Structure formats: C-alpha cells, structure tokens
Amino acid sequence: MIRDNTKVIQIGDRQIGGGNPVLIQSMCNTKTEDVKATVQQIHRLEEAGCDIIRVAVPTMEAAMALKEIKKHIHIPLVADIHFDYRLAIASIECGADKIRINPGNIGSGERVAAVVEKAKEYGVPIRVGVNSGSLEKPLIEKYGGVTAEGIVESALEKVGMIERLGYDNLVISIKSSDVMMCIKAHELIAKKTRYPLHVGITESGTVLSGNIKSALGLGVILYQGIGDTIRVSLTGDPVEEVRSAKLILKTLGLKKGGVEVVSCPTCGRTRIDLIGLAGQVEEMVKDFDLDIKVAVMGCVVNGPGEAREADLGIAGGVGEGLIFSRGQILKKLPEDQLLAGLREELMKMVK
C-alpha cells in the first residue's frame, strides 16, 4: 500500500502519511478578515467531521486574523497564499499550522527562501500546490498541452526548489478538473516521491456534478493506496464537501463511524412517499454517532429480505410500514409514525 510508505508530516495536532488515516480537508468561503463568520463556519465544519481547514489569505489583515481564529477552533488551520511571500511569513507567525503556496507565483528565489526559512523556524509544513490551469508555458510546449506528465514535472521541480533550501517538511497537491488526467497524474507522482499527497478534483462543479466527479476520481486514486488528505471541491456549502468526503472514505472502507443510509429505487409497488422518507431519515441520523447501516425500502414484501444486512430499516406499505432489524420484523406502524419509530430504535442502540 503506497499510503503506508509516505513520509509522516505533523499538521497541528494531526499526523498524515505513514499509514495514518486519510484526513478530510475543506476550505472556508468566508472572508478570513471576518473572524466571527469564519469561526462560525469552521465550527459547523468541525461538527460535520472536517479534520483540517484551509482559509484564504489575500491580505495582511487576513493573515493577522489567523491569530484570533486559532483561539476559537479545534482543528489545524492552513493558510492559502498566492503571489505575496510576505503573507506566507505573516501567516506562519500568526499561528498557521500549514501553509499552501505555489513557489512559481511567490516570486524570486530569495522570496521563496524567506518563506522556507520562516517555515523551518516554526516547524510549519508547506503544501506545494500545482493546478493544471497554472501549468508553466515551457511544460505545455514540451508535452504538447496540459498533461499529467507536465503537472507532475512542475510539482517535483517546485519540491526540488524547496529541498535545495534544506527543507523537506512538505505535502504535495496536484489537481486538475479533468478527472482522468488527475488520476493519471497521481499514479505517476506516487511512484516518484514519498511525500504525503493531498488529493482532490479541482473546480469539479456544483453539488451534483462535483460529487460525481469527486467520487469517481478520488475513489480510483484512494483505492490504489494513493492519498493522505482529501478535499471534495464543490460550488456550495463547504459542509457538503465534508459530508461527501466522509461517504467516499466510508464506502472505500477507509473511515468508520456514522450512520450509512441505503434506500431502494422507487417502483410501481411503492405505496408510501419513499423519496421524502429517505430524505428525512438521512437528515435524522446525523444526530447519531453510530457505526451502523439503516435501510429505507419501499416494499414490505421484499424490503426486510433485500436489506437483511441492515442493522435497522423501514419497509413501506399502504399507509403503514414495518420497522425491521437484520431481516427480522420489529413492529408495524402507521406511515406517519415510521420516522419516530425508527428514532426510538436508534435511541435504544445509543443506550
């Protein structure tokens, strides 16, 4: 497993690489200068299961705000820097647990060296990030366009630049909105480096399209043992990114905990509001910290049997339904009492 062989990197109170669990990262969409709004969003993300949070640092005021934000959160804080090396230095001094830079747009070698020196002084890891959209012109010409090979070469060149400055406390991120290109790039770079990899499909789109692209791309990459932290990039509420990332990891067997909801597709036998009921169940189980599977089935004839492996489930009928566990019927209830009945059974499992 490639993941077991990557270098261990400390980010705040978390460790990645070396076989440690794959951690979930998201990014605030608040203005970092607005400390109150940023802290509130981070608290929501923490509650959803976010392990590491990144914030944009486009101004010196944003860099200064990190000090106050750090006082009120419980997960490592990453500062995202572009163009101005002074913002990277200030972010480290104000408590960032990791910084994200592209050495190619920070400026001269002296400026990159100044950032590395400050990171070295504080023991702060640097995430070297390269996106397909920012690939250098010589590499585009060399490979005849934007390619996985070009992305990997660009990233390793920048890593080499920092290594020559005597620093190897690094994480690498190579992203593309092209899912297949992203997969290939990660397969290539995993053979060329032992640094931990932060994996994501950049600019993946809205909640629907972004989830599909991310599930496919991250699923293939993670299944090969590649990747130490992940982000599902969505155009929407960052909390949805965390929920999606948790489900991807859980589906791959890389994360435990949390209720998994499965439901059957509707068909002509369905006589209850299966779509609405499944949505209500999915929302309700967020309150329960149980590592179980809950099924929502539309048919009392086949439901308990088809979902025999579910720890708990509902099977609908005509104005009524069954609550079942492991294929065994527990009780029959009117349709409007099914949700409450399921909650009651979940509460018993908590106790």
Into how many domains does the chain fold? 2
Question: From CA 310, how far away is CA 206, in angstroms rounded?
Answer: 31
- For position 282, which CATH number holds? 3.30.413.10
| Domain containing residue 337 | 260-350
Together in a domain, 207 and 289: no
Confidence of residue 303 (pLDDT cuts 50, 70, 90): low
**Confidence (pTM):** 0.84
Question: From CA 345, how far away is CA 330, in angstroms rounded?
Answer: 9
Together in a domain, 300 and 329: yes
Together in a domain, 119 and 219: yes
Together in a domain, 269 and 337: yes
Structure tokens that stand for 294 in this block: 């809950």
Together in a domain, 151 and 241: yes
Together in a domain, 181 and 297: no
Together in a domain, 303 and 213: no
Instruction: Output the CA angle 98-100-102, nearest 5 degrees.
Output: 150
Together in a domain, 170 and 264: no
Rounded to a whole number of angstroms, the CA Rg of the chain reads 23
Structure tokens that stand for 244 in this block: 């999606």
For all residues of the chain together, what is the average pLDDT? 88
Q: Which of 200, 232, 251 is the last residue of a domain?
A: 251
Res 302: pLDDT: 60
**% residues pLDDT > 90 (the chain):** 50
Q: Which of 251, 270, 296 is the last residue of a domain?
A: 251
Which is more confidently placed, 262 or 247? 247
pLDDT digits (tens, 9 = 90+) for 126-176: 998 888 877 888 889 998 998 999 999 999 999 999 999 999 999 999 988
Q: Which of 194, 219, 251 is the last residue of a domain?
A: 251
257 has pLDDT over 70: yes
- For position 213, which CATH number holds? 3.20.20.20
Confidence of residue 334 (pLDDT cuts 50, 70, 90): confident
Together in a domain, 344 and 232: no
pLDDT digits (tens, 9 = 90+) for 168-216: 999 999 988 889 999 999 999 999 999 999 998 876 667 888 889 999 9
Question: From CA 112, how far away is CA 100, in angstroms rounded?
Answer: 12
Together in a domain, 226 and 346: no
Together in a domain, 164 and 283: no
Q: Are 132 and 153 in contact (CB under 8 A)?
A: no
Together in a domain, 307 and 213: no
